[in-house]
Structure 1
Amino acid sequence: MTTAISTDGRRPTTWAGYAASLWAFLFAAPHIYWALGGRAGLTFSLAPRGPTEKALIRDPVFTATGLWGVGVLCLIAALAALASVRPWGRLIPRGVLLSAIWGACAVSVLRAFLLPGFVRSTLYVTGAVALPEDMDPAWPRWDLMLFAPWFLIGGVLFGAAAWFYQRRSSSMAVAASRRH
């Protein structure tokens, strides 16, 4: 059996923290753009159409939670994932980092499968559940092809980042206790 050896001093397990951080930064960017008033691509990402869509876009609660809230939470998740692989991350308590990274994993996987995700979108596409009247009929297919897989990828990346960080930080704590 061979073992991967990093030539730049990093452990091979750090890729997940960097990848999860990149995923979250990429997801935060359009939400912050939309929160600042940009509209390109916003209606594509929303399921409702017609008057419901227009009302949603103008709704200050949607802007505060669905745009600013999501954008800020993604930035926090990105920084947590990055902190799990950078030296400055040691300043953050291990439990705080693990909670943030595992939390991002859970939210992403939940969205991928249930909100509406693979399960509900499949039910819509197959006709097992009727589409809401204001939902674009093409949206469940887009969710199955683009949005749900995107969230599943994020969930896997954050899960891997948390798992690798948990193993690394646990190993470092054991090694430190042996030195004392």
Structure 2
Amino acid sequence: MNTTKATVEGGVKGNRAMANTMKTQGEERAVTGPAPVRRWWSGWPDWAGYLAAVWSLLYGAAGVYWALGGDGYPFAQADPEHSSGSLLEPSRAAVVAPVIAVVGLVGAAVGLMMARRRVSTGFHRLVWAFGWTQAVVLTLILPDYTLLALVIFAPLFVVFAFTGVPGQQDGLGDILFWHRNNLIILFVGGVLWAAATLVHQRRARGLCVRCGRGGRAAAWTSPESAARWGRRAVLIAVLSSVPYEVTRLAWYFGYPLGITDAFLKDMQDTPGMLEIGLGLGVASAAGALLTHGLVHRWGEVWPRWVWFKAGRPVALATAIVPALLVSLVLIPGGVMMVRGGNQPEGWGTNYPAMPWILWGIALAAATLAYYLRRRGACRYCARG
């Protein structure tokens, strides 16, 4: 009798435990929802550190090669037609190449430690300082306007491949040469270091590596707050582009605004030169118009004039990736113009493009505000 009673009581307790377990699992499913669909790029937090390490190792090895007298040092003195506006050009390989080698090899070790999460707590801040310095220098300081030109002229390069490049250039090889291509490589390395450092910071602080949430959210990250300062950022970005647009349009219509008459005549005598300037001004104005989408309804839902997607939600990446890319390439272009200063042809050559620095920063801020407003719940940690 006692045995039967114990058996019954044990069964009841087991059923209750099972019910509680099912209830808990049901609550978890209600919170987390269905498992997110994983695509190849969704694993970027896992391989960002490894890619940064590999990039640093390869570029550091190139530094060793150049330090030993190898050909192809990308910051050497070059003729004006095949030079870049990088901060390191011109410089001697005997001086700079050993630094490249040391920083590259140290970066390979640091990137590997980040990826394998083997950084002592006391060294976290030192590692983060190294990573963010790499990211800023490689992405924003060392490049010139090459990346901006690539973004703007990408469609035209296809045309130039068949029609030739306007002016004195013999072909695309006179536009995309090694000194400039090297700056693209540096930019990619900077992006990898930014991703690797961001992921490591989030992991060390116990945050979601994809959305950054997990701790106490700052007030400025709320959708309401982001909407307010995002509108200000858009206004600053739009106004920063006006000087460049005005001067280039004036030149096309024959007004030497900020330049000498001789320089305007030289551009008029070069087939296609003023048309390219006009295209740049129009592209700048179009970019300013699209920037408004970061704070307006048509930036979240496709408008009617985009008939094949009208009424559908705009994917976050569709707006964020181009805007963030443009913001990043604007800043080094502006830095290059500041370093160039006043030119013999007049203030209109460089000064209207100096606000590109402010434009890039404001556009990045507006893009961040757009993301904070629209991100919703994280598909991986279910926060938000």
- TM-score class normalised by the smaller sequence: 0.5 to 0.7
Distance of 1:99 and 1:126 partners within structure 2 = 44
SS of 1:89 mapped into structure 2: coil
Displacement after TM superposition at 1:117 (Å): 4.0
Q: Which residue of the partner structure matches residue 176 of structure 1? A: none
Q: Over residues 20-43 of structure 1, what are the superposed CA-to-partner deviations in whole Å (9 max), with x where a residue is unaligned?
A: 01011111111101212333x33x
SS of 1:20 mapped into structure 2: helix
Give the counterpart of 1:22 among 54, 69, 73: 54
**Shift in alpha-carbon separation, 1:119–1:87, aligned structure 2, 3 A:** closer
Q: Give the TM-score taking structure 1 as reference length.
A: 0.63
Answering whether residue 185 of structure 2 is matched by residue 155 of structure 1, we say: no
Give the counterpart of 2:147 among 118, 123, 129: 118
**Shift in alpha-carbon separation, 1:65–1:147, aligned structure 2, 3 A:** same
Distance of 1:126 and 1:97 partners within structure 2 = 47
Give the counterpart of 1:34 among 54, 66, 74: 66
Displacement after TM superposition at 1:148 (Å): 3.0
Distance of 1:126 and 1:20 partners within structure 2 = 38
SS of 1:78 mapped into structure 2: helix
User: Contact (CA 8 Å) 2:56, 2:107: kept in 1 or not?
Assistant: yes
SS of 1:85 mapped into structure 2: helix
Distance of 2:166 and 2:201 partners within structure 1 = 41
Q: Over residues 99-156 of structure 1, what are the superposed CA-to-partner deviations in whole Å (9 max), with x where a residue is unaligned?
A: 00111111110256x446435899xx988xxxxxxxxx95652269732321221111
Higher mean alpha-carbon deviation, 16-25 vs 137-146, is at: 137-146
Write out aligned runs for 1:25-104 (5 A): 25-39=57-71, 41-42=72-73, 46=76, 48-49=78-79, 62-90=92-120, 93-104=123-134
For CA contacts below 8 A with separation 6 or more, give which structure has more relative contact order. 1
Structure 2 letter corresponding to 1:163: L
SS of 2:115 mapped into structure 1: coil
**Shift in alpha-carbon separation, 1:71–1:171, aligned structure 2, 3 A:** same
Distance of 1:126 and 1:152 partners within structure 2 = 27
Q: Which residue of the partner structure matches residue 146 of structure 1? A: 181
User: Contact (CA 8 Å) 2:76, 2:93: kept in 1 or not?
Assistant: no
Distance of 1:147 and 1:126 partners within structure 2 = 24
Q: Quick one: percent identity of the two aligned structures?
A: 24
Answering whether residue 35 of structure 2 is matched by residue 2 of structure 1, we say: yes
| Higher helix proportion (structure 1 or 2) | 1
Q: Over residues 50-99 of structure 1, what are the superposed CA-to-partner deviations in whole Å (9 max), with x where a residue is unaligned?
A: 9xx9xxxxxxx823432001111122222222221225322661100100
**Shift in alpha-carbon separation, 1:35–1:145, aligned structure 2, 3 A:** closer
Q: Over residues 5-24 of structure 1, what are the superposed CA-to-partner deviations in whole Å (9 max), with x where a residue is unaligned?
A: 9xxxxx86231000001011
Any gaps of 5 or more consecutive residues in structure 2? Answer: 1-33, 84-90, 153-164, 208-384
Distance of 1:62 and 1:141 partners within structure 2 = 22
Higher mean alpha-carbon deviation, 27-36 vs 15-24, is at: 27-36
Q: Give the TM-score taking structure 2 as reference length.
A: 0.32
Q: What is the aligned residue count?
A: 148
Distance of 2:47 and 2:127 partners within structure 1 = 17
Displacement after TM superposition at 1:46 (Å): 4.0
**Larger CA Rg, structure 1 vs 2:** 2
**Shift in alpha-carbon separation, 1:162–1:4, aligned structure 2, 3 A:** farther
Structure 2 letter corresponding to 1:118: L
